[in-house]
Amino acid sequence: MSRRIYLKMKSLEEAREIFLGHWNMDGMLSGETVPSVDSVGRVTAAPVFARFSAPTFHSAAMDGISVQAERTFGATQESPMQLELGTDANWINTGQPMPADADAVIMVENIHQIDEQKVEIQAAAYPWQHVRKVGEDIVATELLLPQNHLITAYDLGALLAAGVLELKVKRQPQVLIIPTGNELVEAEDVKKMEAVPPGEIVEFNSWVLVNLVRQWGGKCDRHPIIPDDPDRLRQVLLKTVAGKYDLVVINAGSSAGSEDHTANLIAELGEVLVHGVAIMPGKPTVLGEIQGKPVVGNPGYPVSAIISMEQFVRPLLYRMQGLEESEPEQVEAYPSQKIPSKLGVEEFLRVNLGRVGEHLMATPLPRGAGSITSLTQANGFLRIPDTVEGVTDSESHPVTLLTSRQGIERTLVVAGSHDMTLDLIANLLNKREPKINLASSNVGSLGGLLALRKGTAHLAGSHLLDTETGEYNISYIDRYLPGIEVSLVTLVHREQGLIVAPGNPKSINGLEDLCRDGISFVNRQSGSGTRILLDWQLGQLGIDPATIDGYQREEYTHMAVAVDVLSGSGDVGMGIHAAAQALNLDFIPVTTERYDLVIPAVHYDNPLVQNFLEVITTQEFKDQVLALGGYDVRETGSRLQIGEGIGHRA
């Protein structure tokens, strides 16, 4: 391996680019399977899908009586109705399973008990009133957590509810902190002393760094103090880089003094990537590699050591785990005084922020690299650029808050028709660097177009059929988005049809059977592309929707329809093939349709949208789509521009 020492000090940006860009993060940490109950704080190594729906049975959402809604029709204040307990109604508590013959709950507050056998109601119930249906929270096979997701306590609840008892997570990065120096005393030895002897220092830096690493998701060990002995440090380095550790940090081993052995040893045993960074504190930082492992020489002063760790070790650990660093919030503040600074060095100045009148004021704290209390007292950092000789108190400057908050939300908002491929896209976007979150609102195709008109979404999913032309979406865009230039990008072609129970026990062969006696139907909501398609097909067959039992029963996703069929609360529903296949249900094809993405021109060049479009053209995405069943990707990514005289495929 070649050995190179940078004699010229690097800027912070250059040093980060050299060091972080040196490592191939793919496969740097292997995956391991852990019990879900032990997974909080870990990072998913693969997408996690629900095994079970939640709840797994229809249950009461209120205390009261369970009834068959149809039995209560006609009850009013003027004409109250009496119900026989045990026959027409049964007492039920919140969370209890619904009786097989009941489909609604009437709250106890709306019941007048006449005697032990009879109750009176003054209003009719409607089907599924105050009932939690199967899959209301989680639907079996749906994406629970994408890859590279930091698992929270809330996620654990969803995992267990969905029957996921173990999952694959990334191995935690293994880090070793090595404190060095002849003057250092172990903290545990202080209890034996009445006072720390002159010239000796209680070693605390390493313990701060150990816990920073743990905060950043790593497993960290601390080596006992090593004196300023290059031979001994060499032996420890060779042993540790050849062992279990993914990263080694040598603390107090980098400086301009005669006892600085770290840079020389890294150069001897491997390669020095950076020696000296133009930041204050933190200038003596050494960044290198030994036997393919990152090795960092950290300055000895505590503030320098912490800043160096935050600028180089934290981003490395996050990238190893597939996580994105959160950007702390910035505010504009006025320095309480003029602050000189050294030209050519970027300074991280600790400040206290406080509101004085209408302005935030930033009061500088002691600037010494050894002043650990300046970190415990500070609530912000004022970064003074290396291109200026200080900042004035006559204008505001950006200050980074030390209280961590997500600075910039990277969320792509999608509205419109539900499609299962959106889960795949969400996972693939989350794998990207930087990762992008996908927020999808299932409001139906027409609802998606209205969201675009109101400016509340970046793009919409739509499969609205023009029954006169046989074309999808274009006439609806002309009608609902007049004067708005959009791009119509094909996502998939997909099979629409009837979802039925395994073995098709009701012998349903097509839409003609929906009006048969004893057939209970599950519909999609008004305004959805599936509903429009169904209504057109029924019209072609001369079927009156009023003759279909359950036509007014609406669900908002294909998976919700499939769950209703799976649970037996409906015999048949209209949905896509992939939803049926996901739950091992039978499927009767009706037609193949095109599902498009409608993207206003104002959002088309947005990097979030462009990342989305890049993902859908990848072979990885297409392979995953085809594995779902019932999809065709022959036109995926094809683009049609609409508006202002434009109307051509790109």
**Strand order through the sheet with 81-84:** 81-84, 118-121, 111-113
Q: How far apart are CA 255 and CA 232, in angstroms?
A: 19
SS (H, E, C) 536-584: HHHHHHCCCHHHCCCCCCEECCHHHHHHHHHHCCCCEEEEEHHHHHHCC
Q: How far apart are CA 450 and CA 244, in angstroms?
A: 56
Nearest of 425, 427, 444 to residue 616 by alpha carbon: 425
Residues in the chain: 650
Q: What angle do CA 313, 317, 320 make, to 5 degrees?
A: 140
Nearest of 16, 5, 29 to residue 293 by alpha carbon: 29
- Predicted pLDDT at 256: 47
- Predicted pLDDT at 649: 46
Q: Which two tokens mark 563?
A: 């769950």
- Predicted pLDDT at 218: 93
Q: How far apart are CA 252 and CA 180, in angstroms?
A: 6
Burial class (CB in 10 A: 0-12, 13-18, 19+), 442: buried
Q: Is cis: bond before 224, omega within 30 of 0?
A: no
Q: Is cis: bond before 434, omega within 30 of 0?
A: yes
Give me the average pLDDT of each 10-residue run along the chain (650 residues). 54 92 82 95 94 93 96 96 96 96 96 95 96 91 93 95 96 94 83 79 88 94 91 92 93 56 90 91 91 92 88 94 83 80 84 68 67 65 85 85 50 85 92 79 87 86 90 93 95 96 96 95 90 92 95 90 92 95 95 95 92 96 96 95 58
Q: How far apart are CA 348 and CA 338, in angstroms?
A: 15
**In a 3-state reduction of DSSP, which class is residue 24?**
coil
- Predicted pLDDT at 600: 93
- Predicted pLDDT at 620: 96
- Predicted pLDDT at 385: 85
All structural domains of the chain: 12-26+173-193+200-321 (3.40.980.10), 31-54+136-170 (3.90.105.10), 59-132 (2.170.190.11), 330-401 (2.40.340.10), 411-649 (3.40.190.290)
Query: Are the C-beta atoms of residues 610 and 472 closer than 8 Å to each other?
Result: no
- Predicted pLDDT at 371: 60
31: left (phi over 0), alpha (psi -120 to 50) or beta: beta
